Amino acid sequence: MKKLISIIGTTGIGKTKLALEIAKNFETEIISCDSRQFFREMNIGTATPSAGELAQVPHHFIGNLSVQDYYSIGQYEREAIQKIEDLFQKHDVVVLVGGSMMYEKAVIEGLHDLPEADEENQRKLEQILKEDGIEKLQNMLQDLDPEYFKKVDQDNPRRLFRAIDIIWQTGKTYTENISEQINVRNFEVIRIGIEAPREIIYDRINQRVDLMVENGLLQEAESLIPFKSNLALQTVGYAELFKFFDGTWTLDFALEEIKKNSRRFAKRQLTWYRKEENIAWVNFENSVEESLTLLNAMIR
């Protein structure tokens, strides 16, 4: 059976490097399941692999969209599975990497048969976001489905929109909607997670934000001000800087908020992965060697 190796872990922990080394070892290609790296205008703030890294191994689903495009997780599932099937025509192994938990889940397990987005509901939610901010949407979802609220990326309006819309349409919580049986894949999934002490994760996040600023994050965010109301940009690293540009926050405060919100997201990732049972964990200091030893034994 063909093998899909899924590399997971918190933001900033070294997934890109590990995915590259595994892909080179098996002479294969990489599928990204980082939903923020789909957008070509957001390279710095999403820590998209560098041109040098992208040149080492063929990558898919990186910079394939504009921030002006609408793209759903359902579209991603269909297109990613098609790409994986195409790659399995010439490779026995394909690598999946990214920290967007629901996007990884969509690939390895499949999505539930949920209704398409309701246009009227989407307009209502857009209006709430515009007039009352993301906190209002967070409070709504917490009231409607406290269990899912603990898992969801609470700073991602797209995820909040989707859950609230489904609850409104079905009259059931999002948790109830996704508890039913999902798709069986015709490939084997091997999940490798990179683990590190929480203080190391947080320190790496803080360093990464500083490096992004050095690499031109402010200029990148400023160039995207005309599109700041687009859902793709209602995300950590950009939403905070837009508040600096409009004079609401100082730059120092905005950068501290980026670090804080990135650490919050890492904490949610840890909570999500702790509940998963089929992950082989490797140490962040020795992730390449540990992973290759494990995989070579399993696959060869």
Integer CA distances (angstroms), 274 to 102, 103, 119, 121, 277, in order: 15, 17, 35, 33, 8
48 among the known binding-site residues? no
Integer CA distances (angstroms), 279 to 5, 17, 25, 188, 234, in order: 11, 18, 20, 13, 30
Cα–Cα dist 55/157, whole Å: 33
172 among the known binding-site residues? no
235 among the known binding-site residues? no
171 among the known binding-site residues? no
Q: How far is CA 271 from the centre of its chain?
A: 15
205 among the known binding-site residues? no
10 among the known binding-site residues? yes
Cα–Cα dist 236/226, whole Å: 17
170 among the known binding-site residues? no
At residue 91, φ and ψ (nearest 5 deg) are -130, 145
Which residue in 55, 32, 13, 95 sits closest to 295, CA to CA? 95
75 burial level (CB within 10 Å; 0-12, 13-18, 19+): exposed
The single-letter DSSP state of residue 70 is -
> Could you identify the residue written with the tokens 């394909």?
94
9 among the known binding-site residues? yes
The single-letter DSSP state of residue 193 is E
Which residue in 151, 117, 120, 154 sits closest to 137, CA to CA? 154
**Which amino acid appears at position 154 of this protein?**
Q
Cα–Cα dist 39/186, whole Å: 29
Which residues make up each annotated binding site for ATP? Answer: 9-16
Q: What residues are designated binding site for substrate?
A: 11-16
Annotated binding site: which residue ranges? 9-16
